[in-house]
Structure 1
Amino acid sequence: MLHLFLSEPIWNDNGDDNSAKMRVSLLSNLESVIWSVMASGGRSEARLGGFASQLLEMIFENRPHKAGSIIAKRSYILKKFFEGNPTRISQWFSRTGGGLGHGPGAKALSQFSFVNRDICWEELEWKGKHGQSPAVVATKPHYFLDLDVQETVENFLENVPEFWLSNELSESLKDGEILFVDRKFFVEFFVDLMYKEDSRDVWEVTSEYLKEECFSSLCKRLLITLDEWDLCDFLNMLHKNLNPRMELKDPMDSSYLFEVILSKCGDFRCFDQILLLNAVFNHGRQLLRLLRDEEAHEEKEKLEDIVSKICGIPNNDSSLASIIKDCFKMKNIEAFKLLGLQSWVIYYSLAEKCQTPESWELLFMHNEISFRKSDRYLFLDNHGVLEGGVSDLDHRASKTVKHRKKHSRRKRKRDINHDDSDNELLDLGTTKNRLDLQSNVGSWLLSIDEYSASWNSEDLPEYLSKYCLSTWMNYQCDK
């Protein structure tokens, strides 16, 4: 039976050092196999553009007015933006029918034309047989809708330089809507402002945005743009600003788990270490899918042999203490890697071996985990999700006596929609079929999380392996 090492380690000098050394050696072999599987699955080296480009894209999406205010100060660049590009002209100035639209570009063009009619009115091109006079347009502004925008803007590009420096055009740019006409152009423009011209206002806007934006959003979009050495440097700098006494409280919070590691480790020098930690800590299911691929047959055989040998090592709490004591001699990141590999052994064993409710309950009792079984009258809801009611069968585990106390089951009534529309429940057949499904899919409330959540056989391997890992890490950090 699989041992989860959830009890406090016995800290003495009488531990089985040979067993600990054997476990560490096998875990190192396991690391090699996992690397082989990850390599066959493809280690992506793709980078999404540059760091600055991704940051600017985020500013354009989330704070377009900040970028718009910078463009408004440099409205002259729109002359280059529109020259020889009918599509951009149409998008910014026109409505669908080809006349002057009602957006900021159209508003800027009409306002400038009327205020400065003495220098530009003859550059306006009309779609009718004759042009409109300023006096007529003053009383009937909708006549501007008859303007041939394409030819008019081309005339302004060639003959009315004042428009491209005007307050009217500048005001139309401040909300940042112009960015979405062609974001690639403006990304390149801003990158040049940052690195070629070293424009202070651009750097101020980016600094403000970095302070205001959610940290997790920045990480998701920006960290992938760093090369391996820059990412390692970033993590090492981040380490200096985290509380070194941080404790792991929620084993299922992957981001918090990695934050604890960062708080303890200041020695990231190899990107491969980060990838392996991320794989065994957060992507157990993905690794298992890679192993189940036909092309990974050889690696799966090697891994099964290694896991079998690790699980065959005599298990007691002092063996975990011996491993953790060995971890003291290592760098923190090496120690966490060792514990992470052991947790993945547990994940793999549970996912592959625990196939029935009975096997899960034996595991709970062997590891002194009290549990309450959730008897569910299982149906598939409209979205294909299992659902049902929970009973109060409370199973208590101990080393000597296992008591099973029965309580009356609470029955849950459910209204079933008999409509033959798309909302119809999937037909599971007879009552016998439903009971068969119920016997194969268990769900339990566990004492290790104070019975706060109902765990099914699909999620238990991940939950228990992460719970074990967080427990061991806390032992490691406390010593």
Structure 2
Amino acid sequence: MLLLFLSEPNWKPDTAAAAAESGEQWISLLSQLESVIWSVMMASGGRSESRLWLSNTVSSIGSLTPRQYRDLFVKLLRTKPTKRSLASQLWQMIFEKHPRLAGRVLARRSRILENFFQGNPMRIMQWFSHFGVGGTEHRKGAKALSQFAFVNRDICWEELEWKGKHGQSPAMVATKPHYFLDLDVLRTVENFIDNVPEFWSSVELAESLKDGEIFSIDMKFFVEFFVVLMYKDDARDVWEAVDEFLMQESFSSLCHHLLITLEEREFCAFLELLRKHLSPQMGKNDFGRTSSWLELLLSRSSDFDSIDQLLLLNAVIHQGRQLLKLVCDEEFGEEEAKVRDIVSRIGTLSSSYNSLVPLLSKCFKMKVVEAIKFLALHSWVLHYALSKECKTPESWESLFLRNGITFKKSDKYALLHDNGLSENDDSESDDGVSIKRKHRKKKKKKKSRKKRRDFSDDENFDSELLDVDPSDNGLDEQTKTESWLLSTDAYSASWTNADLPEHLSKICFSTWMKWNFARWTNLD
């Protein structure tokens, strides 16, 4: 039965020589595993997706203040060469989430709309044709057009074109505003473009722009306009709007929307800027957070050679279930055989609770990034072994007892879906993102089903439904699974056999990190 090493061992091995030899064996085997996992990730075309996984972990960092992450993104936006793709995505976010911030900026530059509408009948009709009916108010550009026409009727009323046989006088339209429905909007606005330049810098038009609704007409045009204002004109009010938006938006949302636009070298530059905002002061209890390992690594060390190390680390720590699916895929049969052999050989080193000491001692003397890597790799070894060895409720309960985990059987059953996840899965789901596989052949097994008298009269009964045994309260053996409440998380979640390998491997990694962190801290 597997040892999870959740109880802190005796840090003094029997002999220094034996410990050194065992430690070298651990490192050698885990290094081989690292090579296999990396080759599978890259063979699956997963570099871009691995970066997405890492971005998701970065987004979970919660220690930054709004002012800190505002400064972080502003520094990145101002870094040479110009980050046009990043800026474009940022302005698209502003238009969608806080359009008034950009609307105020555009209102000060309303004159550019003269060129925006010139020669574009569709844009003109989208913005200026919303005259009220039945007592409702004019909206958007229609309101601006009517208000300006009344206030400046001496210079522009004759430029209004009407659909009827004769035009309407200001006095008549003032008493019957619905007459504006007879206005030939397209010809009128074209006249204003040619003959009424005052309209394009008017207060009336500016007011219609402040809510930012106009951006929906052609977001691409306005994104480009604002990017030019940022980088070519270095407009102060534009950067102020950026500052205000970054302060209002959450760090998580900004990461999810903006980091995907970065090239790899830009992403590395972002991580370097992020490192300067992270505090190296962490406590043992911080290691329950998703991003704790990354915060520790970035804040205490800048010695990782390339982003590859971070991609691998993050995949092993947070995408363990996804990596397991990849390794076990028929496309990677040779690689899985290597993994199986490595896991078996590591198992021979794990004969007692003290057998992890040589590895921990080795990690204690390494650079932080290397130490985290080997602890994470060994936690994935346990993930793999648990998924292969624990198949029955009895095997899980035996594992709990041997490793000092107290448990209670949950009073509810969970339904497993085709992806192996349960409905009450409380672990972090990896299925939102999956490494793309090349030239894959998936074999689907059809589940056998029996005809049941209960449904014989229903011709529309879904033939894909699983059989139901009344004695099992509607759950058959293919979908019913035991679940447990565990002391590992203070009995806060119900864990099924589909979820336990990932949950327990993460608990192990977090526990070992606390031990090593305590020793690193004492060294400081």
Provide the TM-score with structure 2 as the length reference: 0.77
Secondary structure, counterpart of 1:372 in structure 2: strand
Match of 1:444 in 2: 484
Is the CA contact 2:41–2:47 (under 8 Å) kept in the aligned structure 1?
A: no
Secondary structure, counterpart of 1:451 in structure 2: coil
Instruction: Note if 1:50 corresponds to 2:85.
Output: yes
Instruction: Note if 1:65 corresponds to 2:100.
Output: yes
Match of 1:469 in 2: 509
1:312: Cα distance to partner?
2.6
Structure 2: distance between partners of 1:22 and 1:301? 19
Structure 1: distance between partners of 2:132 and 2:340? 68
Larger CA deviation: 85-94 vs 15-24: 15-24
Is the CA contact 1:108–1:172 (under 8 Å) kept in the aligned structure 2?
A: yes
Secondary structure, counterpart of 2:258 in structure 1: helix
Q: Identify the structure with bigger relative contact order (alpha carbons < 8 Å, sequence gap 6+).
A: 2
Is the CA contact 1:101–1:145 (under 8 Å) kept in the aligned structure 2?
A: no
Match of 2:44 in 1: 41
* Selected match of 2:32 from 16, 29, 32: 29
1:451: Cα distance to partner?
2.3
Match of 2:14 in 1: 14
Of all paired residues, the percent bearing the same amino acid is 58
Is the CA contact 1:265–1:332 (under 8 Å) kept in the aligned structure 2?
A: yes
Matches within 5 A, 1:328-477: 328-376=364-412, 428-431=468-471, 437=477, 441-477=481-517
**Residues 80 and 378 of structure 1: CA distance in aligned 2, closer, same or farther (over 3 Å):** closer
Aligned residue pair count: 443
**Residues 257 and 96 of structure 1: CA distance in aligned 2, closer, same or farther (over 3 Å):** farther
**Residues 439 and 121 of structure 1: CA distance in aligned 2, closer, same or farther (over 3 Å):** closer
Structure 1: distance between partners of 2:356 and 2:347? 13
Structure 2: distance between partners of 1:14 and 1:344? 27
Amino acid at match of 1:51: L
* Selected match of 1:171 from 194, 207, 224: 207
Larger CA deviation: 259-268 vs 73-82: 259-268
Amino acid at match of 1:447: S
Secondary structure, counterpart of 2:484 in structure 1: strand
Match of 2:281 in 1: 245
Structure 1: distance between partners of 2:415 and 2:175? 70
Query: C-alpha deviations, 1:6-25, integer Å up to 9, x for none?
Result: 11132125363322211211
Structure 2: distance between partners of 1:239 and 1:315? 39
1:248: Cα distance to partner?
5.4
Match of 1:198 in 2: 234
**Residues 252 and 461 of structure 1: CA distance in aligned 2, closer, same or farther (over 3 Å):** farther
Is the CA contact 2:268–2:307 (under 8 Å) kept in the aligned structure 1?
A: yes
Match of 1:395 in 2: none
Match of 2:263 in 1: 227
Matches within 5 A, 1:85-234: 85-95=120-130, 102-234=138-270
Cα root mean square deviation, aligned: 3.1
Instruction: Note if 1:290 corresponds to 2:330.
Output: no
Query: Which segments of 5 or more consecutive residues in structure 2 lack a partner in the other structure?
Result: 53-82, 425-457, 520-524
Is the CA contact 2:33–2:377 (under 8 Å) kept in the aligned structure 1?
A: yes
Structure 2: distance between partners of 1:341 and 1:188? 45
1:44: Cα distance to partner?
4.6
1:439: Cα distance to partner?
10
Is the CA contact 1:49–1:225 (under 8 Å) kept in the aligned structure 2?
A: no
Larger CA deviation: 291-300 vs 451-460: 291-300
Structure 1: distance between partners of 2:416 and 2:387? 23
Secondary structure, counterpart of 1:50 in structure 2: helix
Structure 2: distance between partners of 1:112 and 1:454? 65
